[in-house]
Amino acid sequence: MHFQRGLQQFILNTHLRAISNTSACCIYPKLEEKSKWNYVVKEAERVVGYPTSFLSLRWILNDEIANVATHVRKLIGTSHPLLKIAKNLILRDEQLTWGLIVLLMSKVAGLNSNFSELECDRTADILHSQRIIAEVTEMIRTSHLIHKGLINIDTDDEDSSDLNFGNKLALLCGDYLLSTSFHEVARLKNFHVQEIISSTLRDLAESEFLGLRDKQNQTVPSKPLPVQKHITIPVDLGVEPFELKHILGNMKAEWTLRNILGGASLLGKCCQCSLILANHESHIQQLGYNFGQSLALAWQASLDKDICKQKTFSLVSAPVMLHLEHDPGFYSEIERVLSSKRDIDYDFIRKGVEDGPALEKTIKLQDEFSQTALDVLENFSDSESKTALVNIIKSL
């Protein structure tokens, strides 16, 4: 009970600070990088009315979530990745609040019809249904992160019992969030929105079946093919056909596909759904999708460029894959890991990445998707919410 009340008070204080902040968001002061990012996010939250993290009062006060928090404490002292995921969710370390992006896009586009007082939050000119979509975005994304915390367990491991408990908790918690999110979507009674949100689950599932896996079931890159710069990824994977055999092995295209399926399509489609609910025309809805997808890819590239500061990292991060494009012979290290089932030599891979052009290429990749997102915003008139999105993109 003390833990639950303390967590509730922490979230309440966060909400009150964000709501009381009324300074303009057009220009942010010269602050340290992290402080500048926090300032940009708080200003964006002020524009939409309140913080949009999954850890909002509405869900923190829910008995099921409180019970999950209590059970997670039992994993303290183990090496289960669910602990790190829970910490990042609570502290919001390196987390871009996607629900916030959905609401900002909703305000940028505005409302294309007259809605009743019951349907619209007049203090922020956002539909209550759009706020639900923002919460659904956070819930689906959070459930995916939690499900990715499942690990393979060696029965000879002395901590196997605790690790198995962590796996069960990750599975049940992720499933609970998914079922709750689709229940919320069903209550909107919009078949088009239900169909699109359902397709995000298909995309997330498909992202887990691309390419090879190591002994811990973590994804590894495909064997590099000769660079083919003309290969592009369709904007809408659910509609436009593409040949998977031409993408896997072409490192930039493979990275893009993995991350579109693994999350970028979720943000894009939720932005699209928020504009559907506001009765916008199809070409405006498509702009919402394009913006969300591009911003998510730019954010992922900004995270990937910092892998050399991490003890362990994903082998399908942009610097590793772009280094394989530069030096295909480097793939022999990954093949040795797959064939011998030995642990990954992260120091060796990190040194190879640092000695090549991959980090510089990753920055260019981020700039490319950031510019695409900025270009989409040029289709909308200037507003406080548009400025907030521009500041977010430029602060990545």
Instruction: Tell me the CA distances in angstroms from 243 to 207, 209, 232, 325, one per residue in order.
Output: 15, 15, 10, 20
Residue 87 has what pLDDT? 63
* DSSP assignment string, 241-294: ---GGGTTTSHHHHHHHHHIIIIIHHHHHHHHHHHHHTT--HHHHHHHHHHHHH
Averaged pLDDT in 10-residue chunks for the chain of 396 residues:
43 40 41 73 83 52 60 59 64 69 94 87 86 91 85 70 78 86 93 95 90 79 80 60 77 92 95 96 95 96 89 91 92 81 82 93 96 96 95 92
Residue 3 has what pLDDT? 40
Residue 157 has what pLDDT? 64
Residue ranges per structural domain of the chain:
2-18+31-394
Residue 47 has what pLDDT? 87
Residue 192 has what pLDDT? 95
Residue 72 has what pLDDT? 63
H-helix or E-strand containing 127?
strand 126-127
Residue 156 has what pLDDT? 67
Indicate the fold that domain 2-18+31-394 takes in CATH: Farnesyl Diphosphate Synthase (1.10.600)
Give the separation between CA 72 and CA 43, rounded to whole angstroms.
Answer: 32
